[in-house]
Structure 1
Amino acid sequence: MELTKTKTTPMMVQYQKIKDQYPDAFLFYRLGDFYELFNDDAIKGSQLLELTLTNRSRNAENPVPMCGVPHKAAQNYIDILVDQGYKVAICEQMEDPRLTKGMVKRAVIQLVTPGTQIDVGTQNAKSNNYLTALVYDTDHQTFGFSYADLSTGELKTAKLDNQAELVNELVSLQTKETVIDSDVPNTIQETIQKLGILISHQELLPVNASVSYLSQDVDSGPLKRVVKLLLDYIQTTQKRSLQHLKRAVVYEPSDFLELDHNSQYNLELTRNIRTGKKSGTLLWLLDKTKTAMGGRKLKQWIERPLVNRSKITARHDAVGVLLDHYYERSQLQDELIKVYDLERLAGRIAFGSVNGRDLIQLKTSLQQVPKIKYILEQIADDSFKEILQDLIPLDDIVDEIQDAIVDQPPISVTDGGVIKDGFNAQLDKYRDASNNGQKWLAELEAKERQVTGINNLKVGFNHVFGYYIEVTKVNLDKIPENRYQRKQTLANAERFSTPELKEKEALILEAQEQSKTLEYKLFVQIREHIKKSIKRIQALADSIASLDVLQSFASISEEYRFVRPTLTNDHQVKVIEGRHPVVEKVLGHQQYVPNDVDMGQATSVLLITGPNMSGKSTYMRQMALCVIMNQMGCFVPAKKAELPVFDKIFTRIGAADDLISGQSTFMVEMKEANDAIENATPNSLILFDEIGRGTATYDGMALAQAIIEYVHNNIGAKTLFSTHYHELTGLDETLKHLQNVHVGATESNGELVFLHKIQPGPADKSYGIHVAKLAGLPNGLLKRADHILAGLEKKAEGSGSGDHASQAISGQPQLKHSRKKAAGEEEQISLFPLEQVDDNQAEVVSQLKNLDLMSKTPMQIMNQVYKWQQKINRE
């Protein structure tokens, strides 16, 4: 139910006119010292912000719901709304109410949205906030895609060939908002919304100079269009300078090691699968950066590793030099830690939101540049030639801030106290007048105490009544007759004035007001002058960020004994004593068991068998991380490593439903497998973990074998394929580029002991019941499983080596089974006759067979399993 529009008072007419321009945003309407919300905004805002909901014109027939927040505390409330995916339109008073007759003019000065938020807070200092834009090229059925970070000035664009590539970019960038035009199909919009991304609409505006400048390096029509769409939206919402935005850079996804968002998720590169946090990820391990800029650069390098061999080598060279120069590296760290976020400082300068403390941070940061440059020059290595070119000290800016801004300025730039004494002669005069006035007031207080004999008489000030003489009521009879003029009555005192005090008050207040006005004017002049050097500051920031990441790589490589990999020209992989760096950090070096990966040119597939929980998945992940770290330019967790440059990594690891598209675990598994099969090249790395487990045994086994054969025969990519289908190990007899390896395990006194060591050849058995025992299943159930297994193995031996299923693998053990098919039902395989079980077990099996898992919560399933345990244990 919509509320009726507000009563047509002049102010509410003005409010409604502005609100109608921003129907999808909360309107923060400035009234004096508060931002007020009305009508639906007030009702919803009071709930989200936990504010008291009141009414305007409460005695009217239709009182107007309202709530408000103090303007000085508004940023916190704005952040709360934007973090929850809402937009906030900030409507300011455009005139001084004291100097205006009638209605004060108001206008929206900024629309804050999830993608345009620049005050990200210290907890997000090392993360980007990307705003993305999208146009659809109907002629080629491709997408023009662009993204920007308003806080840092980064601006990039790319052509994406299909929806899968689009989704991958949106998810990888973790964007909260996407700008589209009217041509984007509804199906694409629905997909974006399912990702939890806010969609904003923008139509193209007339061409302007700043947009043309920023897109001048973009040749493609759709890319020019999407960059313009993005910039038009930014200008429309932010209504301020875009001077800090960098010229748009065109990139190709193939310029980097291609990792789809599923692979990034599965490998836990930047987000922990269980917690969604940074802890326990590769980013967490590698982040020894000292600056916020370096932290963001590290995250970008992790998500977009290189494929250019010379660039990878250049980073390796730099890391090696820093590793060998411990003393200089330590000095660099000491200087880097004093460098603030130059990228975001440049953004605030351009946006006009910088304050005095920001300028002091800028000065402090720039003062470290000559020291950083000197340290690198002492190392004297060509690896830092490019970085040194942009490490240009900006002494002119340092000197300007040093001369003008006090060392500890207040947060506000309009209340005075920001500019140093001696910087401006007129400002010094105003301050002198104000200071002399304060001295005069102190002398007046002392004189009046002496004349009246009232020791607690005081001269004070407030913003409503100005300066006054205050006397407590018990001392009123001591005031000489006609000495004071009554000004204000309080509960326990009276306040007075004199003609002389009024005259001095006018002089003091005028000096203070003019001093504040002049200070702000001087501050703006300094800010505008520094704004002209934004590009220089950004180039400096980029070099410092890269240097910060390289020193972080060197520090981590030293601490965790990483080695420089050798880049091979052929297609062989040789990693000696490789480790999963994150798991090793958690477990400790002494407990982690390293493993080799040896895949010469003659080996394209490693078929990995062994017990569940033995470390197959960890082994596969550590190989992928080794490749990613290598192509980021970092050293790798191994004793020795020889690696080619891979173009793509595909992973099918872990089991999870795709809740966005409503797909089951098995469907997700098949789609990810298909993605690898369709897009992998001989230079790719494929990790397939337990393919086929989400369906019936023979279906799964057949699919697994077919996938292995296809990858082996048609793609030739380096592939690690782990499986619980031990029957597949016979494939090495027919596939010459496939090699069997297994994770070692042994039995000791009937107990299973994992060795966590990769060994040649296939595993000798599955150990599934042993793993079930480790998981704590009841002894009665385990005994029954042993009995069933023995019967199955006996049947398999008696059935010979005839064909089964689709005659997939010659010589594999056969399971004799019966098929029963009721009307309308799929074929079911009965692995053992129910007459061999007792009544309790038969009942459990029957209930299990008919249990509708998809309709149950995890807790309901756990409760049901507990009941079954109790029933079986009572036998």
Structure 2
Amino acid sequence: MMQQYLSIKQDYKDAFLFFRLGDFYELFFEDATKASQLLEITLTGKDAGAAERIPMCGVPHHSVQGYIETLVGRGYKVAICEQTEDPRQAKGVVRREVVQVVTPGTLMEGKGMDGKTNLFIAAAEKIGARFSFCYLDISTGEATATYVDGTNDDLMQQLQSLGIRELVVSDAMFDELQALADVYSIVLSIEDEAMSVEDTAMYTMHAPEELHHAIRIVLHYIERTQMRSLAHIQAFDYKEVEQFLMIDTHSKRNLEMIQSLRGGDQKGTLLWLLDETVTAMGGRRLKQWLHQPLANQQAIERRLGIVTALLEDYFLRVELQELFKNVYDLERLAGKVSFGSIGGRDLAQLRESLRQLPAIQQQLTEAKSTELNELGQALDLCSDIEQFLSHAITDQPPISIKEGDVIREGYNAKLDELRDASRNGKNWIAQLEKREREQTGIKNLKIGYNRVFGYYIEITKSNIHLADLTRYERKQTLTNAERYITEELKEKEALILNAEEESSVLEYKLFTEIREEMKQYITRLQKIAQQISELDVYTAFATVSEKYHFIQPIFHEKRGMKIINGRHPVVEKMLNKSTYVPNDCILSEDENMMLITGPNMSGKSTYMRQVALITVMAQMGCYVPADEAILPITDQIFTRIGAADDLAGGQSTFMVEMLESQHAITNATANSLLLFDEIGRGTSTYDGMSLAQAMMEYIHDHIGANTLFSTHYHELTTLEDELSHLRNVHVAATEQEGRVVFLHKVKEGPADKSYGIHVAKLADLPDEIISRAHVLLQQFESQSEEGTVKIVEKRVEVPVEKIVEKRIEVPVEKIVEVPIEKVIEVPVEQANNVSEAQLSLFGTVEEDDAEVLEQLRSVNISCTTPMDALQLVYKLQQQLAKK
């Protein structure tokens, strides 16, 4: 047996091998040692002919699913090895084979699975500067193919955004991605073989040819690990990027669309607010729409029309939601049909779901809305499937299909005959027991049954003298009783037991035939599931829109945006509608950049997020939290909100900020929405302010996207005079009795104060610190007003405004810090052109610096991105440091 185990394990080295032995699944050697720790089960040993006992642990077969789910949830794979022949008929060791490999991307069921969340497995292949990318949920059959542009990190972020735990790649890509996959907690699986072109033609027919190989790889991997039918896998739906509003992983996180920044909890997210869905498949559909809102105006307005119709007909909406409560997860039930794992109770749930369809169709076709009428007419009622299941399956079948009572009486004449024989035989046994008691006068005489001895008459030893032993044949002796059998009982026993066994065998055979019969209906069931899930999301949108007083957005073909009294929907719900302060956001064709100033805690970030969330909700097809919303079709949203170190990636707050900014500026178009919150705060004041201004100028001159830019650098507000598309606004605050009061209202013009020390006071910093901060603030402000230089430990700092005012770019290291004895005040009007001679005022230009100066002169500022500028400054600093 151990040789058999080792032979099978050889083919599944990357998985825990659950080896079936009787009523247990056993694990051996390293599998046992590691699993005992992970599953917190006892590690024992087994004598197997070796010098030492082999490590071993095991779990009962009836509770194995929970243990498998635990291991898979931690990123491991489990190979399930079953006995594939009857031990009673086996000669030698019972034949065993692996019947399925469960992986993080192929888990079909379990208590830990969220019904409203897809469990995807993906495959990717490098094609030039992008990846061919496909993913599918094998529990539902939904499959998608698309492209992912960018680097390996961009691919990992896409996986993380979709909640994908397992990625199938080639051997070559495995080495390239392994380190990054560990950082993102992605399980990489190798698959160098692909299904044939012929076998995958039905799956690839909607996708470009470049994507076919990735599809064929993932299908081969699933076929190899699951060893079951793929009949329920749908043709891969090709997602053209242009048809959707693209939101990168960072932006989804910053906007708290699906996961809260405070942790993995969904409370406080847009999903939490919108999820009024009733069915599990409706919940999954809502998540998919959140991940990819539409960017096609006609498709968006179709969705909005359906939501409007449901919003206007309250009773219809409520009736539909009541009907949805009796609709089970049709997508996953169809998956079980395909995999051959569906049980009697599952089929009963499927039947109950189909019984709701006529009422749903009636509600839709009788509605006043043309859109709802069309949805109703498109429904396939599947009445033939419902009738088939009603005829075949009992009303309340047991969980196990081997317990009997799954097939309804009248479905099969032979089964009915066997059941009748078994049932009547048991009645005859009850009658015999009554007759024997009357004949013998033994009141506690009983007829029983066990698997070893069959049926027997049991008489206590104190009553044996009353029995007619000429008729009774002793069968078994107990401590206090004797068990007998009669000729009459022997005859009935054979009849009853044969009928029960034959009935059980026949019923199981009939059920497997029904299960096979159901496979022909998989496509129809999946279509119904899609229709019901979408209708569930529409009713959820209507419910949320009514509950929170949302309005229908209006779209136009230009870039302007007009939001009147817009609100952050989640913050409003968390706080209370009566305390939330709404705000306008008006961006025109001529002024589509907004520079937002104001103190911390005043609501700048919330204001920016609400604009993005209103855009997302509108393009999902939902009403929005505002009094009026006239919006453009946005193709991408990029956000740089909040600051956090990427400790796993070894990147600082400032580097994360720069990388996210670079990603946004590189990929944004004129139809994008950009949100930048306090860019540059992760570095020194002058560096940060310079970068912020450079980014704003670049977006203004080269991209032209709708942009909201918040800052604490009040010096930047002067850009309103230089950048024609830029407008200053501020979040108002006022001072009362030495304390700041946040008004949370966005008003025109720049803020006059930052109120930073007031915010510190609200945080209850010690009074000594607050007082000292006030004194220092007055000193700094007076120094700033008096002259062009400020002495700091015999070094000088030239105020940046004396340089940026004329938009002169010079090496920071030559201006910010120079010896005091070399200081000469430079009037601004003489600073238009920086030459080597002027720089010599601050010190002699050494020969080693000539190369640095030459590189600076050769830079074309108008064609330089902020990230390129940052890298150049770093390079020049390194050159100067070598002197």
> Would you call these one fold, judging by a TM-score over 0.5?
yes
1:392-417 Cα shifts (integer Å, max 9, x gaps): 10011110111111111001112211
The partner residue of 2:248 within 248, 260, 265 is 260
Q: CA deviation at 1:487?
A: 4.5
Rate the CA distance shift 1:546–1:61 in 2: closer, same or farther, 3 A.
same
CA contact (8 A) 1:577 1:596 kept: yes
The partner residue of 2:348 within 360, 364, 373 is 360
Q: Which residue of 2 aligns with 1:195?
A: 184
Q: Secondary structure at the match of 2:728?
A: strand
Q: Which residue of 2 aligns with 1:721?
A: 709
Rate the CA distance shift 1:414–1:211 in 2: closer, same or farther, 3 A.
farther
Matched, 1:734 2:722: yes
Residues in 1 aligned to 2:711 and 2:451: alpha-carbon distance in whole angstroms? 78
Residues in 2 aligned to 1:488 and 1:34: alpha-carbon distance in whole angstroms? 32
1:243-287 Cα shifts (integer Å, max 9, x gaps): 111011222333311100110111111111112121111011001
Q: Which residue of 2 aligns with 1:870?
A: none
Q: CA deviation at 1:32?
A: 1.9
Which range is displaced more, 480-489 or 549-558? 480-489
Q: Which residue of 1 aligns with 2:834?
A: none
Q: Which residue of 1 aligns with 2:14?
A: 24
Rate the CA distance shift 1:811–1:52 in 2: closer, same or farther, 3 A.
same
CA contact (8 A) 1:37 1:66 kept: yes
Q: Which residue of 2 aligns with 1:805?
A: 800
Matched, 1:544 2:525: no
Q: Which residue of 2 aligns with 1:66?
A: 56
Q: CA deviation at 1:764?
A: 0.7
Matched, 1:250 2:271: no
Q: Which residue of 2 aligns with 1:77?
A: 67
Q: Which residue of 2 aligns with 1:184?
A: 173
Q: CA deviation at 1:105?
A: 1.4
Q: Which residue of 1 aligns with 2:371?
A: 383
Residues in 2 aligned to 1:771 and 1:117: alpha-carbon distance in whole angstroms? 50
Matched, 1:305 2:293: yes
Q: CA deviation at 1:339?
A: 1.0
Q: Secondary structure at the match of 2:579?
A: coil
Residues in 1 aligned to 2:110 and 2:575: alpha-carbon distance in whole angstroms? 34
Q: CA deviation at 1:573?
A: 0.7
Q: CA deviation at 1:461?
A: 2.6
The partner residue of 2:619 within 619, 631, 639 is 631
Matched, 1:131 2:126: no
CA contact (8 A) 1:153 1:246 kept: yes
Q: Which residue of 1 aligns with 2:87?
A: 97
What pairs up with 1:540-619 in 2 under 5 angstroms? 540-619=528-607
Q: Which residue of 1 aligns with 2:156?
A: 167
Matched, 1:420 2:408: yes
CA contact (8 A) 2:678 2:710 kept: yes
Q: Which residue of 1 aligns with 2:23?
A: 33
Rate the CA distance shift 1:67–1:774 in 2: closer, same or farther, 3 A.
same
Residues in 2 aligned to 1:490 and 1:58: alpha-carbon distance in whole angstroms? 39
Residues in 2 aligned to 1:615 and 1:811: alpha-carbon distance in whole angstroms? 32
The partner residue of 1:111 within 93, 101, 107 is 101
Rate the CA distance shift 1:424–1:782 in 2: closer, same or farther, 3 A.
same
1:627-672 Cα shifts (integer Å, max 9, x gaps): 0001001010000011000010000011111233211111000011
Q: CA deviation at 1:100?
A: 2.8
Matched, 1:12 2:2: yes
Q: CA deviation at 1:334?
A: 1.5
What pairs up with 1:142-153 in 2 under 5 angstroms? 142-153=130-141
Residues in 2 aligned to 1:505 and 1:236: alpha-carbon distance in whole angstroms? 47
One-letter amino acid of the counterpart of residue 720, structure 2: D
What pairs up with 1:812-851 in 2 under 5 angstroms? none
The partner residue of 2:689 within 692, 701, 721 is 701
CA contact (8 A) 2:194 2:213 kept: no
1:4-24 Cα shifts (integer Å, max 9, x gaps): xxxxxxx11112111111111
CA contact (8 A) 1:711 1:717 kept: yes
Rate the CA distance shift 1:458–1:56 in 2: closer, same or farther, 3 A.
farther
CA contact (8 A) 2:798 2:816 kept: no
Question: 5+ residue gaps in structure 1?
Answer: 1-10, 822-875
Rate the CA distance shift 1:59–1:475 in 2: closer, same or farther, 3 A.
farther
Q: Secondary structure at the match of 1:637?
A: coil
One-letter amino acid of the counterpart of residue 524, structure 1: T
Residues in 2 aligned to 1:299 and 1:789: alpha-carbon distance in whole angstroms? 49
Q: Which residue of 1 aligns with 2:310?
A: 322
Residues in 1 aligned to 2:629 and 2:647: alpha-carbon distance in whole angstroms? 39
Q: Which residue of 1 aligns with 2:839?
A: none
CA contact (8 A) 1:118 1:150 kept: yes
One-letter amino acid of the counterpart of residue 100, structure 1: A
CA contact (8 A) 1:256 1:306 kept: yes
Residues in 2 aligned to 1:665 and 1:264: alpha-carbon distance in whole angstroms? 18
1:284-314 Cα shifts (integer Å, max 9, x gaps): 1001111111111111101100001100111
1:125-171 Cα shifts (integer Å, max 9, x gaps): 0000000112233xx35322110100110111123332244223211
Percent identical among aligned pairs is: 52
The partner residue of 1:55 within 45, 56, 65 is 45
Q: CA deviation at 1:185?
A: 5.8
Q: Which residue of 2 aligns with 1:849?
A: none
Residues in 2 aligned to 1:101 and 1:638: alpha-carbon distance in whole angstroms? 76
One-letter amino acid of the counterpart of residue 782, structure 1: I
Residues in 1 aligned to 2:161 and 2:111: alpha-carbon distance in whole angstroms? 21
The partner residue of 2:632 within 621, 636, 644 is 644
Residues in 1 aligned to 2:658 and 2:287: alpha-carbon distance in whole angstroms? 30
Residues in 1 aligned to 2:50 and 2:147: alpha-carbon distance in whole angstroms? 57
Q: Secondary structure at the match of 2:715?
A: helix
Q: Which residue of 2 aligns with 1:837?
A: none
Q: CA deviation at 1:205?
A: 4.4
Rate the CA distance shift 1:210–1:439 in 2: closer, same or farther, 3 A.
farther
Q: Which residue of 1 aligns with 2:853?
A: none
TM-score (norm 2): 0.88
Rate the CA distance shift 1:273–1:486 in 2: closer, same or farther, 3 A.
farther
Q: Which residue of 1 aligns with 2:862?
A: none
CA contact (8 A) 1:728 1:809 kept: no
Q: Secondary structure at the match of 1:67?
A: strand
Rate the CA distance shift 1:712–1:120 in 2: closer, same or farther, 3 A.
farther
CA contact (8 A) 1:135 1:183 kept: no
1:454-489 Cα shifts (integer Å, max 9, x gaps): 433332233344333344455556555465555455
Matched, 1:216 2:217: no
Matched, 1:466 2:454: yes
Q: Which residue of 1 aligns with 2:825?
A: none
CA-based RMSD? 2.2
Residues in 2 aligned to 1:352 and 1:757: alpha-carbon distance in whole angstroms? 60
Aligned residue pairs, count: 804
Q: CA deviation at 1:804?
A: 2.3
Q: Which residue of 1 aligns with 2:280?
A: 292
Q: Secondary structure at the match of 1:745?
A: strand
The partner residue of 1:408 within 385, 388, 396 is 396
One-letter amino acid of the counterpart of residue 59, structure 2: V
Residues in 1 aligned to 2:478 and 2:169: alpha-carbon distance in whole angstroms? 61
Q: Which residue of 2 aligns with 1:42?
A: 32
Q: Secondary structure at the match of 2:584?
A: strand
CA contact (8 A) 1:646 1:685 kept: yes
Q: Which residue of 1 aligns with 2:756?
A: 768
Q: Secondary structure at the match of 2:88?
A: helix
Rate the CA distance shift 1:689–1:136 in 2: closer, same or farther, 3 A.
same
Residues in 2 aligned to 1:753 and 1:665: alpha-carbon distance in whole angstroms? 30
Rate the CA distance shift 1:808–1:342 in 2: closer, same or farther, 3 A.
farther
